[in-house]
Amino acid sequence: MDAVGAGAIRDVVAVLPTAPRLGHVVDAVAARIGKPVRVVDVDGPSWGALTALVSQLPDVALVLLPPGATPLYRMHCVLHELGHLVRGDTGVPVPRTQLDFAAWSTGGTVCHRSIDEVQHALPAAAGSALQGDDEEFAESFAYELATVLLSGTVGTDERTYG
């Protein structure tokens, strides 16, 4: 990860309270991007191999998750999608052939990841998913913030050195 990415993670950690929770990270990212971020469980359409996605609309960003994920996996998925927001990834139009989330993302774009692409290293269909640096940053963001959340505290050294 480059220095800009590491700095973005440090900036988010720096504004977290001493005993942060996932909601605090969501709020910190919302403040950073200048619009509300909502985490929404979406039941109904088949998620297929997708694990989560983020839909960016002009006035809100929605992190969409299938219901029923374990708490730890849910946290990882939310943090990963927040990483896309922090990085400024704009995503692509909704993959309507794979999902029908039109009610949640009309007028917006999405970033998403397919577990099949991750497990089998299949190339994504043209324009359907982010790859490379985008995914590397989102995964690094998720790892670093999960480390802070699971430790249960943000110490002075973490605020200073990230």
pLDDT score of 128: 41
Q: pLDDT digit string (tens) for 80-131?
A: 999 999 998 876 655 554 455 555 555 555 565 554 444 333 344 434 444 5
Q: Express as a percent the part of the chain with pLDDT over 90.
A: 35
Beta strands, E only, the chain: 37-41, 50-56, 61-65, 109-114
SS3 content of the chain, % helix, strand, coil (to 5): 45, 15, 40
Contacts of 3 by beta carbon, 8 Å cutoff, 6+ apart: none
Residue 69: strand pairing partners: none
